[in-house]
Amino acid sequence: MSEKKITGILNRVIEIDLSSKTVSTISISMDQRRLFLGGKGLGLKLMYDRLKPGIDPFGEENIIIIMTGVLTGTSAPCSGRFHAVFKSPLTHIIGSSSCGGSFGRMLKTNGWDGLIIRGKSPSPISLQIHHDQVEFLDAKDLWGKDISVVQAKIGSKENETIVIGPAGENRVYFANAASGYRYLGRGGLGAVMGSKNLKALIVLKGQYKTVPFYPEKFEKLKNRANTYINRNPMSLLMRDFGTAANAEYIIKNRMLPVENFSFGNHQKAMEITGRQIKARHHTKHHTCKPCSILCGHKGMFNDSVNTVPEYETLALLGSNLGIFDTNFISLFNDICNEKGMDTISAGGTLAWVMEASKKGLVDIDLEFGHPDKIIRALNATANLEGFGKDMATGSRALSGKYGGKEFAIQVKGLEMAGYDPRGAYGQGLGYAVANRGACHLSSFPVVFENLLGFLDPDTIKAKPEFVKFFENFYAALNSLDICQFTGYGLTLETFLTRITPKAVLAFLMQQLPSFALSLVDFSIYPDFFNAVTGMKLSSREFMIAGERIHILERLMNTIEGIRKADDTLPDRMLFESMKDDPRKRCVPLSPMIDKYYRLRGYDDEGIPKTSFLKKLNL
């Protein structure tokens, strides 16, 4: 079949009903494209128009939406991404997950910008998509199998897959879904797929090729973007050491989660840094296409070549459980990847159980620093064996049943990522107000507070402004779809930022945050949108789109009942200092929340005001 060219986008989404085994096509208007960009933004809009409030996340009425962005399928750097949106069984609000890899690119070769999955199959199935055809394949022989076994059986060079493991089938609340060696990790997408008896999605190679509307402009932008990335210090650190490059900075400021966020450092902490892992495990690049940062790595673990655990996994399944042997952490990571569980929530949940056991709230043989017990607990959770059935519900549900809410390290039901906010107050605010829960990817002010040193981590000043900025910016990036890590190079290497002394930048950011943020040049992103689609989009319109997307998600969550009381942190972060912190820091959240609400246009309960919604065309 001859190759056909897509000039940027086709604005076509395929909708599949598992109950009736029917297929239909949905068209995306150009107005929707301009307002919501693609990826996460369009996924949320499609979900908002279709999802009934209050539905059971495991019920037939839940919807899974997988969307690509306008850059998906192009050679733009770090654009091998796609996004999933669903109602989360872990949080009971809107769940979303971004994923690297080539599934989105392959979907687009079939002429689809996204897909919607409705209903429930009466028996285990896989969906296979090729052009306009969808096959409903019997998956009974795949049910119960680990992820790599299924991938080996159904995968090929001519297709890309999304697969769940036994944890998803068993509806572990934090079950994930695998696309190659990348994961739709947070919020329980795997469990939602399992509730629909959907074992796998298979997309065969199609006949379409994505080409930019303005090819010459696109090539110039691509070259400039790669130049920025290739000279940016943070990008180069990630290229050398992966996301574990963050660990040294976090350890230095005593905000590494150790033993359920009780401590901020440990005498063995440096053993889980990227520098040590590279030297000890002889790592090489193992990354997505097309990628310029090259943060993915593989190395020798337990006498075989394996993927290097991400920083979050090293922290939550490592130091947070009292484990610093990277071979053991790699083994825990393998179990989660095979069974299909989010490593952050798995680590956060097991850490709660360890502390609860120590305090006599639960009766289970699970202790900090004992790898053999962790292995048994992870397998028990995935298979719902014994107390694993309780652990499969996550730390919020566990603490609600047995007590110990004050040391359940979660927000809105989502376990916290690997940055203790007592060492970075802006990150504390970011966790508290993040739409999907304690998420470091909703906003990431810790990069300025800790990694780059532009903001004082131990003050509330300027933090609401930066949290709002990061939320809008990342919502827009996740809708293009392009990797958030490009933000280092594509904003900090632009002319004005590059020539301004760091001391001046730090002063402006800390003392005049609104002015400093107005000077940030991120025009390369809307320029990419224009080069691919032919649609003009200014920098201001790009950021307003990001704000619109973020506020839409907040609105959907308030419809599900989210209020100000939910925008908080665990008591441990608010009232207890880390046991080894001489400064006795706690997060002063309340004044930051109040200012953040004013900046956001929320009322006193955290609900977006009607006048503000109208202003954003919502």
For residue range 237-248, what is the model confidence (pLDDT) as tens digits? 999 999 999 999
User: 380 and 244 in one domain?
Assistant: yes
User: 466 and 573 in one domain?
Assistant: yes
User: 182 and 54 in one domain?
Assistant: yes
User: 574 and 482 in one domain?
Assistant: yes
- Report the C-alpha gap between 184 and 97 in whole angstroms: 5
Query: Is residue 442 situated within a structural domain?
Result: yes
Q: Which two tokens stand for residue 135?
A: 């096959």
Radius of gyration of the chain (CA): 23
User: 505 and 367 in one domain?
Assistant: no
Query: Is residue 226 situated within a structural domain?
Result: no
Query: Is residue 221 situated within a structural domain?
Result: no
Query: Is residue 366 situated within a structural domain?
Result: yes
Query: Is residue 502 situated within a structural domain?
Result: yes
- Report the C-alpha gap between 352 and 381 in whole angstroms: 14
Last residue within a domain, chosen from 345, 375, 407? 407
What is the H or E stretch that residue 414 is in? strand 414-415
Query: Is residue 494 situated within a structural domain?
Result: yes
User: 285 and 195 in one domain?
Assistant: no
- Report the C-alpha gap between 68 and 88 in whole angstroms: 20
Q: What is the pLDDT of residues 305-350, one digit of tens each?
A: 999 999 999 999 999 999 999 999 999 999 999 999 999 999 999 9
Q: Please, which pLDDT band fits residue 384 given cuts at 50, 70 and 90?
A: very high
What mean pLDDT value characterizes the chain? 96
User: What secondary structure, in 3-state letters, does 495-521 show?
Assistant: HHHHHCCHHHHHHHHHHCHHHHHHCCC
| Residue 588 predicted with pLDDT over 90 | yes
Per-residue confidence (pLDDT) for residue 288, from 0 to 100: 82
User: 436 and 401 in one domain?
Assistant: no
β 410-411/414-415 pair status: antiparallel
User: 151 and 63 in one domain?
Assistant: yes
User: 160 and 63 in one domain?
Assistant: yes
Number of domains in the chain: 3
Q: What is the pLDDT of residues 451-502, one digit of tens each?
A: 899 999 999 999 999 999 999 999 999 999 999 999 999 999 999 999 999 9
The verdict on whether omega for the bond into residue 481 sits within 30 degrees of 0, i.e. cis, is yes
Q: Which of the 8 DSSP states describes residue 22? A: E
- Report the C-alpha gap between 506 and 542 in whole angstroms: 25
User: 46 and 184 in one domain?
Assistant: yes
Q: What is the pLDDT of residues 104-121, one digit of tens each?
A: 999 999 999 999 999 999
Per-residue confidence (pLDDT) for residue 359, from 0 to 100: 97
Last residue within a domain, chosen from 196, 211, 226? 211
Residue % of the chain over a pLDDT of 70: 100
Last residue within a domain, chosen from 211, 229, 260? 211
For residue 406, count other CB atoms closer than 10 A to its CB.
13
Residue range(s) defining the domain that contains residue 452: 421-615
Contacts of 32 (CB under 8 A, 6+ apart): 42, 45
Give the CATH number for residue 590. 1.10.599.10
β 22-27/12-17 pair status: antiparallel
Dihedral (CA of 396, 402, 404, 407) sign = negative
Distances (CA, A) of 495 to 229, 448, 484, 502, 505: 14, 19, 20, 14, 13
Q: Which amino acid, one-letter code, is at 177? A: A
Longest C-alpha distance within the chain, in Å? 68
From 110, 294, 281, 122, select the one nearest 198 (Cα to Cα).
122
Range scoring the smallest mean pLDDT among 219-233, 276-290, 428-442: 276-290
User: 385 and 292 in one domain?
Assistant: yes
Chain centroid, CA 124 distance in Å: 27
Give the CATH number for residue 100. 3.60.9.10
User: 276 and 194 in one domain?
Assistant: no
Give the CATH number for residue 359. 1.10.569.10
From 433, 397, 353, select the one nearest 173 (Cα to Cα).
397
- Report the C-alpha gap between 19 and 391 in whole angstroms: 31
Query: Is residue 228 situated within a structural domain?
Result: no
Query: Is residue 570 situated within a structural domain?
Result: yes
User: What secondary structure, in 3-state letters, does 368-405 show?
Assistant: CCCHHHHHHHHHHHHHCCCCHHHHCCHHHHHHHHHCCH
